[in-house]
Amino acid sequence: MTVVLIGDNTTDSAWVEREIQWSLSKVPPNGLLGIRLSPDVEISESLRVHGAEILDWFNPEDVHEFQDAIERAAASARRSRYMPANSASTCGR
Answer whether residue 52 is part of any domain: yes
Is residue 91 domain-resident?
no
Residue 36 CA from chain centroid, whole number: 11
32 residue type, one letter: L
Specify the number of domains making up the chain.
1
Please report whether residue 35 resides in a domain: yes
Contact call for residues 49 and 21 (beta carbons, < 8 A): no
Residue numbers of the domain that contains 53: 2-80
**Could you read off the pLDDT of 50-83 as tens digits, one per residue?**
989 999 999 999 989 999 999 998 888 777 654 4
Degrees, nearest 5: CA angle 28-9-62: 65
18 falls within a domain: yes
Classify residue 28: in a domain, yes or no. Answer: yes
Q: What distance in Å separates the CA atoms of residue 43 and residue 33, rounded to the nearest whole number?
A: 12
The answer to whether residue 41 is domain-embedded is yes
Q: Tell whether 85 is covered by a domain.
A: no
Stated pTM of the model: 0.78
- Whether 45 is covered by a domain: the verdict is yes
